Structures are given as structure tokens and as C-alpha cells.
Structure 1
């Protein structure tokens, strides 16, 4: 059995029936974390959308991570924040969110960025994209040996991201990914079937 778990990333539209979809997805399998990722909203709008989703995660002991915004993560009392390369630094996030916050950093396909994030005190690093993705434009392509290299060197968990599906994820697990970050593969269809399919692969790994 693999120790690898799912890290769900929200679609950009989390209004309407999305809270019900999130509940069903989290109840369907081994999901460790949920990242709240919306764009173009002010903090008040984002907070209003985030609050019911945060409760759903808390009820299921799933970490609620805010994408990009340290300020929104602090306002919500979120479990952590995920920082892109232009979204602030780990030290600032740690100071504002506290010692218990989970702070993740996007490191693309860069060993240098990952080492810097680890040295700065990040709780996890994210590598990708491993496959073509429909969620965002792919600028960086990561190779499987990056995961293996990181596992042999560091204690900090690594997240694989980018176009991951139940059909292509097994090599990532074998290579050493601690978490699979997925979005379209779950929200683009039947979320329950997708999470169950991922969970089956992870259990076999």
C-alpha cells in the first residue's frame, strides 16, 4: 500500500452546487488536503465562498489550504497557504500564519527552487507539470526522476501536479510523490468515481 494521498485543488468556480460536490468527493476516498484556488475576486468575496468549504473540510479532518494569498489564509484561519513563485515568501507566511500552518511552495521542475523552499522552512514542495494540463498553461515540464531525487535527499513531502489522472498516476507514486495534486481529473466529470479510481490506484501502490 502506498503512503501517497490525494491533494484536491478546487476549480475556479466554487459557487452554486460546488459545496455538495466537495462533500461527495471527500467522502469517496483518501483525500488529505483541499486547496481553495479562485482568481479575480476580492478578499471579502473569496472569504464568503471559502467558509462553507472550509467547514466541509474541517468536518472530515482534511487540511484546508488557500492558494496564493497569505492574507486570506490568515483571515480564514486556514490550515495553510500554497505559494507560487511570485506570491510572497515562506518566512513572511510563517510569521503571519504561525508555526502550525502548512506552507507549500510551487517549485516547477527546479531542484534549486525546491532546495531554497526547504531551507526557508516550507512544509512541502510541489513539482510539475508532469503531464499536459487543462487547468493552466504549462510552462515547466517535470520528469519522474525529480521526485526520486527529492525523496532520497529530503524529509519534506513533495507534491506532484499537472494533468494527473487515475490512468497515468501510478508512475508518480512509484517515483516517490507523497501527494498527487488533482483538479480537472476530479471536477471535470463524476467526482465520486474519479476519487474512487485514484484511491484504488494508491491502495495498489
Structure 2
């Protein structure tokens, strides 16, 4: 049984994905620290590497009661029996992805700062919609900025959880969580930290007033 779509959402970085053992160790540390959703995002690995790593992460996450989402690759998500897939802009048809996933798997959709895109995504079957980057980001420094007001309006008007991403630190977390965003996605703030578990715990403390 997958956890609710809420809380700390750990998205793997290119740095840790370069090594299988490091990837598993870092994700395990994030889960120990409180993350209940992980997204496997790996743009550089070969197909056989991606298959091996995604399968290992499914096992790792499920052993700890967490969910695993695969970024951009619907077929890989289905092949390893992941809990869902996340589609960026231009990464495939949302309705077609929902049809292949079935009713029970998670379908996340990147929406930038575009509330209308989020509304269309929900109509086509999105389980959650993601807005960002909210702050300067090491992962996507050139991504267009998104506004907290867009998060607030999305949380108010949409029937699915809202995900916030982009430069969110524990210090910035209260302003983000106060918008009603339920999923807080973090890449570098977790996997760029010297101690991933400790970093995850810092985010979890920031989320406590909003749970």
C-alpha cells in the first residue's frame, strides 16, 4: 500500500546516480530521515543501468513503506512495477499515460507556473501537479521561476495534491508549506548534503506544523 501523496519527496540527483551503491545508500538515508516518496531521475545512465537501478530502488522503497516514482519513462516504471511515473513538459501524453498506468498508480505532471496546464493535467488523470522552480536551483538553474501565489491558487482550486519544487531549503519551507502544497520535492538540499539522513530530518521538522 503506497503512502499518501504528502510530505518529503526525494528526487535523485545526477551525482548519486553515477554509482549504484551510492544511489542506494543515499536513498536509504533519505528514507531513514523521513522521506516517503522517492523519484528516480537519471538522464545519463544506459537503459540496462536504469533498469537495474530502478528495480533496486523499488525494493528499497517498498521495504520501508515508501513509494517510488520514475521520472519521464513510463515503460521503465511499468517494467519494474514502480508506484508511478512523473512526466515533464513534452514527456508524453498525460491521458495515454493514465490509460497505461491504470487507475491505481501515481501520475505526476510538471506544470511550471502554469495553473491552466495543471487544470488540464488533472482532467486527463494526473494524481498530483508540480510547480517550480520556486527559488534559485542548483539542479535546474535556468528553469523559469514559479510563484508561491500559483501554488496557493492550485491548492485551493484543484482536487489533487500540489507538489512544490526548486531551491526549497528548511528555512524556506514554512512559506512554501503555508500555500497548501502537500508534497515538498527536494534534490540538492538532500542529496547534496554531507549527511542525507540529517538533512531529511531537518525538512521533516519543518513539515511537522503542516501535517
User: TM-score, normalization: structure 2?
Assistant: 0.91
User: Among residues 63, 70, 84, which one is paired with 2:67 in the alignment?
Assistant: 63
Question: Which segment is superposed worse, 60-69 or 36-45?
Answer: 36-45
Gaps of 5+ in 2: none
In the TM superposition, structure 1's runs of 4+ consecutive aligned residues that sit over 4 Å from their partners are none
Q: Report whether the alignment pairs 1:75 with 2:59.
A: no
- Structure 2: how far apart are the matches of 1:139 and 1:185? 17
User: Among residues 141, 144, 148, which one is paired with 1:140 in the alignment?
Assistant: 144
User: Among residues 6, 28, 32, which one is paired with 1:27 in the alignment?
Assistant: 32
3-state SS in 2 of match to 1:17: helix
3-state SS in 2 of match to 1:145: helix
User: Among residues 189, 194, 197, which one is paired with 2:199 in the alignment?
Assistant: 194
- Structure 1: how far apart are the matches of 2:114 and 2:121? 11
User: Among residues 157, 162, 165, which one is paired with 2:169 in the alignment?
Assistant: 165
Q: Report whether the alignment pairs 1:150 with 2:186.
A: no
- Structure 2: how far apart are the matches of 1:115 and 1:106? 12
Is the 1:43–1:72 contact (alpha carbons within 8 Å) kept by the matching residues of 2? no
Give the Å deviation of 1:105. Answer: 0.3
Give the Å deviation of 1:200. Answer: 0.7
Q: Aligned runs of 1:88-107 on 2, under 5 Å?
A: 88-107=92-111
Q: Report whether the alignment pairs 1:174 with 2:178.
A: yes
Superposition RMSD in Å: 1.4
Q: Report whether the alignment pairs 1:10 with 2:23.
A: no
Partner of 2:52: 48
User: TM-score, normalization: structure 1?
Assistant: 0.93
Give the Å deviation of 1:8. Answer: 0.5
